[in-house]
Amino acid sequence: MKILSYNVNGIRAAIKKGFIDWLVSANPDVICLQEIKAQKEQLDLSLFEKAGYKYNYWFSAEKKGYSGVAILSKTEPKQIVYGADFNLASTEGRIIRADFDTVSVMSLYLPSGTNNLRLDLKFRFMDEFMEYITELKKDIPNLIICGDYNICHKEIDIHNPKGLKNTSGFLPEERDWLDRFINNDFIDTFRVFNKNPDLYSWWSYRANARNNNKGWRLDYCLATKPLEKRLKRAYILKDAKHSDHCPVGVEID
């Protein structure tokens, strides 16, 4: 089972940049999207169906043109769950989950901390999300949470760790939270297979950052420990350029 995750920074903009042709070529079984910035009725769903994704599920923010997540699948899930039992997860369209026979896949778009108000909201979301997932794992032990976590975990995950230590996305408190989250019976699947530095999933549009590889690894496919023996590959698809992010992927038996 090939699972990809991609913050598309606007699905309509990504489609204009060749997203559908790329999707056909990449050929995942399931793809989790974040920051779709669209309502379902604003999309031509036939594009996804023709690409092989008859089963496509969209969960938009209440605010138009903002946030939103989706899951596209080649096979029909047993169940789709929109949002979660805390406010920000639903009003801002930040969580959607697809349950299959032997694994559940969640698309997550964790808030960014662009200013003090948003940073406070980000920390609140993080605390509530941790509680939610801790309970969810009791019922769903085989869970993969794919998405834009808006946090770099370790110094290896960011191009300038010393210079950016006081910047949201690499704050000590954010990194500590992600550390605790992963240590709560999760696996950073990418680091199981890739130990090298300079491997990122997001680059600023400024200062030619992508060409100079001045990046951040903000996107993860975190799998629960019971899935450990089923992991086959994990990777970053840095050559996909429909967004300021690129896709990340994991493959399981």
Q: Give the pLDDT confidence of 71-129 residue by residue, as tens digits.
A: 999 999 999 999 999 988 999 999 999 999 999 999 999 999 988 889 999 999 999 99
3-class state of residue 61 by DSSP: coil
pLDDT, position 215: 98
Task: List the domain boundaries for the chain.
Answer: 2-252
Q: How far apart are CA 188 and CA 217, in angstroms?
A: 12
Cα–Cα dist 240/247, whole Å: 7
Three-class SS of residue 58?
A: strand
The three-class DSSP label of residue 241 is coil
- What is residue 117's predicted lDDT score, i.e. its pLDDT? 87
Which three-class secondary structure state does DSSP give residue 155? helix
Tokens matching residue 219: 């996107």
φ/ψ region of 233 (left if φ > 0, alpha if ψ in -120 to 50, else beta) reads: beta
Q: What CATH architecture is 2-252?
A: 4-Layer Sandwich (3.60)
How far, in Å, are 4, 112, 185, 245 from residue 23 at the CA level? 10, 26, 31, 15
Where in the sequence numbering do the catalytic residues fall?
Answer: 148
Helix extents (H) in the chain? 11-16, 19-26, 46-50, 87-91, 116-139, 172-183, 189-193
Number of H helices, E strands in the chain: 7, 14
Please provide residue 93's backbone torsions phi and psi, each rounded to the nearest 5 degrees.
55, 60
What's the confidence (pLDDT) of residue 207? 94
Tens-binned pLDDT, residue by residue, of the chain (253 aa): 999 999 999 999 999 999 999 999 999 999 999 999 999 999 999 999 999 999 999 999 999 999 999 999 999 999 999 999 998 899 999 999 999 999 999 999 999 998 888 999 999 999 999 999 999 999 999 999 999 999 999 999 999 999 999 999 999 999 999 999 999 999 999 999 999 999 999 999 999 999 999 999 999 999 999 999 999 999 999 999 999 999 999 999 9
**Residue 116 main-chain phi, psi, to 5 deg:** -60, -40
CA 45 to chain centre: 21
